[in-house]
Amino acid sequence: MEVSMLGDEAVETAVQPRQLNVTHHVKGSNVYIECYIPNFSFSDERGEKVNGEGYLNLYIDGKKTDEIHTAAFIIKGLDKGTHTIFIEVLHNDSSRYHLKKTWNVTI
């Protein structure tokens, strides 16, 4: 809950928790991924923690493979079989937002 002052009156407004929405589709050996995080800007700037800015860590089959600085990206050239994809959202200073998503894809 956030409280704002409006004149002499305190007005309470509900602060919505940040959400991570992910869509994906498989085409051949590639996985096309789009992430939507309301009120969030992707950044490749490192340094001071800025609420609402950051990047993603990408893990495939338990191994960190990349840092992602855009909302949409492609994982290319996965081997045939089932793979576990995990992404987590981080602040510019690498601290966690506690937003993450795990899912499986079959190539």
User: Which of the four pLDDT bands, split at 50, 70 and 90, describes residue 65?
Assistant: very high
Do 57 and 69 meet the contact criterion of CB atoms below 8 Å apart?
A: no
The three-state DSSP-derived secondary structure of 88-107 is EEECCCCCEEEEEEEEEEEC
Architecture of domain 17-106: Sandwich (2.60)
Q: What is the mean pLDDT of the chain?
A: 88
Locate the domains of the chain by residue range: 17-106
User: Which of the four pLDDT bands, split at 50, 70 and 90, describes residue 59?
Assistant: very high
- Greater confidence (16 vs 57) lies with 57
